[in-house]
Structure 1
Amino acid sequence: MVKEFVLDINKKLAFQETQGSKGTIIAVHGLTGNHKTFYHYQKLLGNDYNFISFDLRGRGNSSPADENTSIFKHAEDLKTFINQKEIEKPILMGYSMGAYICALVASELEVSGLILLDGAGTTEERQRELIIPSLSRLRKAYCSAEDYVTQTRGIYSSLNVKWDEAVEEITHYEVRETPDGWKHKSEASAMEKDFNSFYDFQPEPIFKKIICPILLVIAYGSLGKRDPLFTKETYIETIVSAKDIKTIEIPANHYTLMFEKQEKVEESMLESLKKMRKVKA
């Protein structure tokens, strides 16, 4: 069940939460995603942990993004969420843009662990060439929700993502009816501003301030006929600057990392969580 958390009078976050006894994991999704992106990892961890995933502002059913939206604004939202809910030493899990956000917060608040799912490296111009054109689907109006889902399924097919009920549910949640037809819930202009803020993320000073254990997952698979979104070179500064980091590389691509069950990632995650729980204790 999706709940609502009020950050202040004009800002709310839509979130989903499971109950567990081993601590709290807060999961933060990517640029155009939503809380449902973590389907497989919530299924893995949701019975043992308080697993919280939420829609960043400007996505899903949360409030609109700020006019000057950025990863730094989203990090402030996450800090407010943690502080107002009085969550002590959570484990932060971030995917893609969410990894940047979680790293920022982990550099400022006391957390038990940080799980980075293909994100929080150095952003290059080639990423812009891959990301910005993909935002065009957010500007389009569709005849129906099914029209949007069908067209999105075609895009995912070109990215080697296997279509199943979970992916379909995630996709349905992205779209809403407007006077101009069915549209993505996110504004392309806001997404572009958020992406541009990646370039202001400096891994070295941020990771030097993070003292908790870190698990970094690098998904080196190609995006259909295109190169991977991030490469190991993307993360050199992150890896060198971090005090306590374990890195794994997997052949999945940036999207199949989330939309398909990844056994190697799950095994590494469970092993790393044992260490992170000791930090909390």
Structure 2
Amino acid sequence: MTKRIINDICINYELEGEGKTIVFVHGLSDSLAYWKVLSETLKNDYQTLIYDLRGHGESSDDDKNTTIDFYQEDLYQLLKALNIENAVFVGLSLGGNVILDLAVNHPEMVKGLIVMSSFPEHDEKLKKIFDDFDNAIDKGFVEFFDTIMPYTLTEDLLEEHKEFLESVKHEAAKTANLEGIKKGINAGYGFNLTDKLNEINAPTLVIAGGEDNLTTLDIQRKISDNIKDSELIVLEKTKHNILIGRNIEKVLNIINDFMSKIE
């Protein structure tokens, strides 16, 4: 992993491989490690960039109130610093917000978008869920983890991996940046890009979990319906976390197929 000062904070990243560039942007409370299951394979055929959002993983933060625009500007400046002129961007949840915002503000950078489990605007339903997340993180990472997991994995997976998830929760609690997570939650409040999505001309895939009760299919259809010629792919038996074991090969195939069509 490598670190670089971007917008007066330290951004942690990994840049590997050669060829067309794929940039991955993780979701709330995650880190670049989320994408390893994909990037370790894809780096054999493409240049892959994975990085930690500010206040997440090993990236630092400042004392400003974080917004989606802040995350987007960090990404833009990181790309400039790495001399990456354009790329295909893959973003999950909060990361999806970031790459949509980048596509609106810096369209010249975007050769294609793969948006997973994201939302184009913050509505009343999401506000209630975000309020629950915000209240939970104030009580600590364990409370936050227990609050988000029913949105993340289906009941069968929660039961099947119960002991492992307990271990992950308590291990992650040792290093979690609670303030960074809270800022990430608050960045979603007031976010609304729906009216600007029609400005995006890059090829776009929206990948949704068929059982996602956080960013529901109706929410994700707002993305695909407002971006010209975009495609919605629904993965069954999947909630908010797209990269569950049974989906990995399918997602890799989707990305490879998408990349083969990018000039």
Alignment of 1:194 with 2:187, yes or no, is yes
Change (3 A) 1:56 1:138: same
Q: Unaligned 5+ residue runs, structure 1?
A: 143-147, 178-183, 223-227
1:214 to 187, 194, 204: 204
Query: C-alpha separation between the residues in 1 aligned to 2:260 and 2:167?
Result: 31
Q: Percent same amino acid among aligned pairs?
A: 22
Secondary structure of 2:107 counterpart: coil
Contact 1:174–1:185 under 8 Å retained in 2: no
Residue 126 (structure 1) aligns with:
125
Deviation at 1:249, TM superposition (A): 0.7
Query: C-alpha separation between the residues in 2 aligned to 1:41 and 1:201?
Result: 29
Alignment of 1:109 with 2:146, yes or no, is no
Change (3 A) 1:274 1:66: farther
Query: C-alpha separation between the residues in 2 aligned to 1:68 and 1:240?
Result: 31
Change (3 A) 1:169 1:47: farther
Residue 6 (structure 2) aligns with:
7
Secondary structure of 2:218 counterpart: helix
Alignment of 1:204 with 2:195, yes or no, is yes
Give the aligned length: 253
Deviation at 1:209, TM superposition (A): 2.0
Q: Deviations over 1:188-239 (max 9, x none)?
A: 541332121xx3322231x2222211111011215xxxxx112222134322
Query: C-alpha separation between the residues in 2 aligned to 1:202 and 1:113?
Result: 18
Supply the AA of the counterpart residue of 2:78: F
Query: C-alpha separation between the residues in 2 aligned to 1:154 and 1:132?
Result: 11
Supply the AA of the counterpart residue of 1:267: N
Residue 266 (structure 1) aligns with:
252
Deviation at 1:153, TM superposition (A): 8.3
Q: Deviations over 1:46-88 (max 9, x none)?
A: 2212211111111111112552211111111111111121102
Supply the AA of the counterpart residue of 2:124: E
Deviation at 1:137, TM superposition (A): 5.3
Alignment of 1:246 with 2:231, yes or no, is yes
Secondary structure of 2:243 counterpart: helix
Residue 181 (structure 1) aligns with:
none
Contact 1:100–1:201 under 8 Å retained in 2: no
Query: C-alpha separation between the residues in 1 aligned to 2:82 and 2:130?
Result: 34
Secondary structure of 2:199 counterpart: coil
Query: C-alpha separation between the residues in 2 aligned to 1:124 and 1:65?
Result: 28
More helix by share: 2
Secondary structure of 2:121 counterpart: coil
TM-score where L is the length of structure 1: 0.77
Query: C-alpha separation between the residues in 1 aligned to 2:207 and 2:225?
Result: 15
Change (3 A) 1:174 1:138: farther
Deviation at 1:163, TM superposition (A): 4.1
Deviation at 1:90, TM superposition (A): 1.0
Residue 225 (structure 1) aligns with:
none
Query: C-alpha separation between the residues in 1 aligned to 2:140 and 2:224?
Result: 42
Change (3 A) 1:244 1:157: closer
Residue 54 (structure 2) aligns with:
57
TM-score where L is the length of structure 2: 0.82
